Amino acid sequence: MRNSLSISSDQAKMFFPIPRELDPIRMPQHLAIIMDGNGRWALGRGLPRIMGHKAGVEALKTTLRLCSDWGIGALTVYAFSTENWSRPGEEVNFLMSLFENVLQRELKSLKLEQVRINFIGDLSPLPNRLKELIQEATDSTSRNQGINFNVCTNYGGRRELVSAAQKLAEKCVQGDLKPDEIDENLFASELFTAGNVDPDLIIRTSGERRISNFLLWQLAYAEIHITDTLWPDFDATALTKALIDYQSRRRRFGGLESNNAEHYEI
């Protein structure tokens, strides 16, 4: 396997095999990533922070391609949080234009590669042109058969939970629902992620050890992998490490492992 894999347009149709260190049967069905460290990556090179965001797009393209080739069914990434509006206006504006440009430029290859793209979050305050592109990209890839690619944009876990609660409360007020009919499945069906399985693995780059308001409900039983790698440096090697770490975990979901249960006498 090569180091520092980056995918350029001339490699567009190359297929990346699953590294030998990984068990193809035990890949996560759904991978979530907090793509953090763009600013520090740029500052470390004496560049303005926005150059880190540009470089981060390349890491995202690589990661999406690898996930798709390695049989991961869904990739959900945190692109812009409800709290990120508090950054300087220049950086926010740059990010909005970057999302627009990247979406416009990459839509053709997303279609070709059968990616189904979806945007998760409160999209209403986004610039109109971006909203139009999001609509176009979502509609034109909705019948694709490949990886589900969810981009969390103006996303906040707390806001998502409040909005689900509001929708259920409204149904109760209308007399269409009784409070005691609300269960976990019904609640989950009102979240932006309705219809997706919960992430099996969450990766956070740049060494930060927090969730930062990401997928608060959905990460209930996700395995957590933190890496010091800054997002623009995230590559096939870093993804492989995260997946090896994931495959070494024993997921118990509050129960007992089957071999422990044998020795447990009531």
Contacts of 134 (CB under 8 A, 6+ apart): 103, 119, 123, 126, 153
Q: Which amino acid is located at 149 in the chain? A: F
Nearest residue to ligand IPE on Cβ basis = 39
Compose the 86-105 pattern: x for residues touching ligand IPE by CB under 6 A, - for all others.
---------x----------
Output the smallest distance, CB 77 to ligand IPE, in A.
Answer: 8
Output the smallest distance, CB 3 to ligand IPE, in A.
Answer: 23
156 binds ligand IPE (CB under 6 A): no
Residue closer to ligand IPE, measured from CB, 18 or 224: 224
Rounded-to-integer distance, Cα 21 and Cα 261, Å = 30
Torsion of the alpha carbons at 260, 203, 26 and 3, rounded to the nearest 10: -130
Residues at the site binding Mg ion, with contacts judged by CB under 5 A: 36
Of 7, 35, 64, 164, the one binding ligand IPE (CB under 6 A) is 35
26 binds ligand IPE (CB under 6 A): no
Per the listing, tokens 């929708």 go with 167
45 binds ligand IPE (CB under 6 A): no
Which stretches of the chain are DSSP H helices? 38-43, 49-69, 89-112, 128-141, 157-173, 184-188, 236-247, 258-262
Report which of 80, 78, 81 is spatially closest to residue 159, judged by C-alpha positions. 81
Residue 34 interface partner, choices Mg ion, ligand IPE, none, CB cut-off 5-8 Å depending on type: ligand IPE
Contacts of 161 (CB under 8 A, 6+ apart): 191, 216, 217
115 binds ligand IPE (CB under 6 A): no
Residue closer to ligand IPE, measured from CB, 51 or 168: 51
Catalytic residue IDs: 36, 84
Residue closer to ligand IPE, measured from CB, 7 or 120: 120
